[in-house]
A and B are shown apart, each in its own frame.
Chain A
Amino acid sequence: MELFLIFLGAAFVNNFVLVRFLGICPFIGVSTKFETSIGMGLATTFVMVVASTVTWLIQHFILAPFGIEYLQTVAFILTIASLVQLVEMFLHKASPALYRALGIYLPLITTNCAILGMAVLLAQGSYNLGESIIFAIGAGVGFSLALIILAAIREELEFADIPKPLRGAAIAFIIAGILALAFKGFEGLV
């Protein structure tokens, strides 16, 4: 039950994109097509789960015991960057089909602030390893959900008569605002 609440909290109540403002760049940049948004969502969720595990281990077995928490940003970002590289190489070898589907999104994920943001949030909190992984899955699902909803709406918008200055990113942000309003309905759920 506790774990389910952590999942709900990360995915809906404190949605990474619409409530915490993390990962806005891919949210606006990769949300023009429905299919690509699914690929990006899956790839991000995957990296989030792996990154949360590894950064948790680093935080609790290297940084905290030696009292070098101030190196957190440097350590985490290096870990995430090399992790993304490793995942890319591993997928390339182990599962070419998955690599073809997710490969082009992986390099973009290194600078996705949702990943580093999640690692830093987890390091500040007091979750154990299992709870951290559930939190990461929730965060990934929440990110994917927001991305896919926005992409589906933006595909429909192609046929709408939008005032010229608002075309593109501007209207996407206004839609995101309305989505954020809808996600406020989850407030108080957990």
Chain B
Amino acid sequence: MRMFKDFTKGLWAENPTFRLLIGLCPVLGVTTSVVNGVSMGVATTFVLVCSSLIISLLKKVIPSGVRIPAYIVLISTFVTIVELVMKAFMPDIHSVLGVFIPLIAVNCIVLGRAEAYASKMPVIWSGFDALGMGLGFTWALVLLSSIRELLGEGKLLGYSVLGDGFTPWKIMGQAPGAFITLGLLLGLMNLIPIMINKFKSKSSKAE
């Protein structure tokens, strides 16, 4: 039960992108197409889960005075692994994601989970916590990149969806489109709880 709760809180209640507003650089930077968004999400999730597991295992060994440098070295080691694997097997995606792959090392989500959760909690809980956060981050990337790819190129996953008659909104593929779409999505995510509360209070009045 506890594990389930740890897992699901990253998906909605403490979603890193829409609720905690951390780790936003890749959210804006790589979401020009769904493929890029998913690859970034998977890469970050891998780093997040591995570093959380190791840090949770080592929490008694690492002295608290030097814990932040120790975490940073652990995290950037996993980032280097991801970078080398991507360079070897997925060179196209590696060149598109570019500078954002080494930047996973300074993504606030990873260090935040290490400091706030993995450094205190048992290994398995930390793993589920990290997995939930990673998937929460991934679905945010997928949502944003689907909107941007659909409106910016009229495509989804590289397949033409909106037909030839559609004029692509060039701006969606560029920086202003990223900022404005994320702003509107954040507004939408804030609107949903407000609407649910309104609906609940109305139905309780009707009773």
Q: Which A residues are closer than 8 A to B by beta carbons? A: 18-25, 28-29, 70-74, 76-78, 81-82, 110-113, 116-117, 120-121, 124, 163-167, 169-181, 183-184
Q: Please give the distance in Å from B36's CB to the nearest CB on chain A.
A: 13
Bound CA span A41–B177, Å: 25
Bound CA span A21–B103, Å: 11
Bound CA span A124–B190, Å: 40
Main secondary structure of the interface of A (DSSP, over half): helix
Stretch at the interface among B17-25, B37-45, B55-63, B128-136: B17-25
Q: Evaluate whether A112 and B106 lie within 8 angstroms (CB atoms) in the complex, with A28-B21, A77-B76 already known.
A: yes
Q: Which B residues are closer than 8 A to A by beta carbons? A: 21-26, 28-29, 68-69, 72-73, 76-77, 79-80, 83-84, 99, 102-103, 105-108, 111, 171, 174-180, 182-184, 186-188, 190-191, 194
Return the chain B residue nearest A124 by Cβ: B99
Q: Please give the distance in Å from A15's CB to the nearest CB on chain B.
A: 9
Which one of B23, B26, B29 has the highest number of Cβ atoms from chain A below 10 Å of its Cβ?
Answer: B29
* Chain B neighbourhood of A25, CB < 8 A: 22-25, 108
Contact across chains for B29 and A21 when beta carbons are under 8 A apart: yes
* Chain B neighbourhood of A73, CB < 8 A: 76, 79-80, 83, 102, 105
Contact across chains for A172 and B183 when beta carbons are under 8 A apart: yes
* Chain B neighbourhood of A178, CB < 8 A: 176, 180
The one of A72, A120, A177 in contact with B179, judged by C-beta atoms closer than 8 angstroms, is A177
Q: Evaluate whether A72 and B180 lie within 8 angstroms (CB atoms) in the complex, with A28-B21, A78-B69, A165-B190 already known.
A: no
Contact across chains for B186 and A169 when beta carbons are under 8 A apart: yes
* Chain A neighbourhood of B83, CB < 8 A: 73
Known contacts A20-B29, A173-B180; 16 additional CB pairs below 8 A are A18-B175, A22-B25, A72-B102, A73-B83, A77-B76, A81-B68, A110-B106, A113-B107, A116-B105, A121-B99, A165-B191, A169-B183, A174-B183, A177-B175, A177-B177, A180-B176
Which one of A70, A117, A165, A167 has the highest number of Cβ atoms from chain B below 10 Å of its Cβ?
Answer: A165
